[in-house]
Amino acid sequence: MFREKYCMNLMGLNMDMSTNFDSMLQVVALLREKDCITLLEFSMDMSTIRATMGILERIKDIEAEMAKTQKNKATEFHLGLLKSKLAKLRSQLLEGPKTGGNSADKQFEVVKYGDARVALIGFPSVGKSTLLSTVTKTKSEAASYEFTTLTCIPGILEHKGATIQLLDLPGIIEGASQGKGRGRQVIAVARSADLVLLMLDATKSDVQRRLLEQELALVGIRINQSPPNVYYKPKKTGGVSFNATLPLTHLNAKLCIAILRDRAVHSADIIVREDVTVDQFLDVVEGNRQYIKCLYVYNKIDSVSLEEVDRLARQPNTVVVSCESRLNIDALIDRIWTTLALCRVYTKKRGAAPDFGDPLVLREGARVEDACRTIHRSLADASQVKYCLVWGASTKHNPQRVGFGHLLADEDVVQVVKTT
């Protein structure tokens, strides 16, 4: 309890990091005196904080300059370059300390397990731990005070023959993208997930959804978007070649060349195949963006009116639940399943019935080749496989003789005939 109290204190301080830097230094010294050094590991060390502060200040300056620059044709180029500088600084923030993983990072390291990984992201006390304890056998402590959860807690959700790893995480706070609270570690886990559940409190205002989206956007996580259709390849020589396959309304060669020059790239091939914005182009150039599927999960619907539940449920990519009252939990699990777009393939031996109890769990778009490789590494070699027979939604006849490139469908049955 003593330990937790100090952690919470420190989190509180972190929130005011930018305004209260000096007083924070004093408190850190005080905590050191009181032998609370281990608690500091949850946060950042001082040199990281100093470096971060420098970057944050430059970000603030650029944002201020952008705010006072009028948006028009004449300033378009200038604004584009400012955006580019912002993106560069934010990438630096993301990279974080060069010292490698510290012990706080290690506490968050959880081995990937199962067929897919789902991370629970949200502000404190929205009910993330309650959800984990509701849908898995793992009990994660839940309580009415904020920051109950301090590390990454994995649980396992078995559904339709698939094993899904569900990760409970500490609540994030505004500014998590700048490393406040445990933001850095939480975000690193989110990046490793196949699906992120953005958990929200149905009793709170709509602002939380926008704030959460903003924090994720700032760290280069692009939710429910596909990567921009832009080919970009830096070269050693030859200058920048800029081509577009359609008229562009946000971007031009001059700005792109300037953005690249700012990154010391003087030669590159660029082919733009979509009317992308400057921000999307920067996403391509920075290259460290993560395109992740996400579901908005509104919890605590037991505490709001039916009209409100109805309004929330109508938003895109949204599920409404009450973890405590076990309302709509099965629907949530189904949505997790369909959003992950997994594909079950049952294997069968010649003359035997398919093994319906233990499917191979692949991704949507999997081919026979993927199924073979999953059955056994040796089967990844086409010369080892004479042919495959497939029964199911992906074939015209049942069974159908298919090659390695055949696209599989959910619940197909596959029989591999090896070369002897």
Q: Does 126 interact with ligand GTP (rule: CB under 6 A)?
A: yes
Q: Does 148 interact with K ion (rule: CB under 5 A)?
A: yes
The residues in 132-161 that bind ligand GTP, with binding defined as CB under 6 A, are 142-144, 146-149
Q: Are 227 and 220 in contact (CB under 8 A)?
A: no
Q: How far is CA 60 from CA 66, 83, 210, 286, 399, in A?
A: 10, 12, 20, 20, 63
The residues in 121-150 that bind Mg ion, with binding defined as CB under 5 A, are 128-129, 148-149
Q: Which residue is nearest to ligand GTP (CB)?
A: 171
Q: Residue 322 has what DSSP assignment? A: B
| Segment interacting with ligand GTP (CB under 6 A) among 124-132, 236-244, 247-255, 275-283 | 124-132
300 binds, among ligand GTP, K ion, Mg ion, none (CB under 5 to 8 A by kind): ligand GTP
Q: Does 163 interact with ligand GTP (rule: CB under 6 A)?
A: no
Q: Are 201 and 299 in contact (CB under 8 A)?
A: yes
Amino acid at 60: K
Q: How far is CA 198 from CA 139, 142, 217, 319, in A?
A: 20, 18, 13, 10
Q: Are 235 and 267 in contact (CB under 8 A)?
A: yes
Task: State the Rg of the chain over Cα.
Answer: 25
Q: Does 302 interact with ligand GTP (rule: CB under 6 A)?
A: yes
Cis peptide before 124 (omega within 30 of 0): no
CB of 339 to ligand GTP, least distance (A): 21
127 binds, among Mg ion, K ion, ligand GTP, none (CB under 5 to 8 A by kind): ligand GTP
Q: Which is nearer to ligand GTP, 152 or 379 (CB)?
A: 152
Q: Does 125 interact with K ion (rule: CB under 5 A)?
A: yes
Q: How many helices (H) and strands (E) does the chain have?
A: 14, 15
Binding site for ligand GTP (CB under 6 A): 122, 124-130, 142-144, 146-149, 170-171, 299-300, 302-303, 322-325
Binding site for K ion (CB under 5 A): 125, 148
Binding site for Mg ion (CB under 5 A): 128-129, 148-149
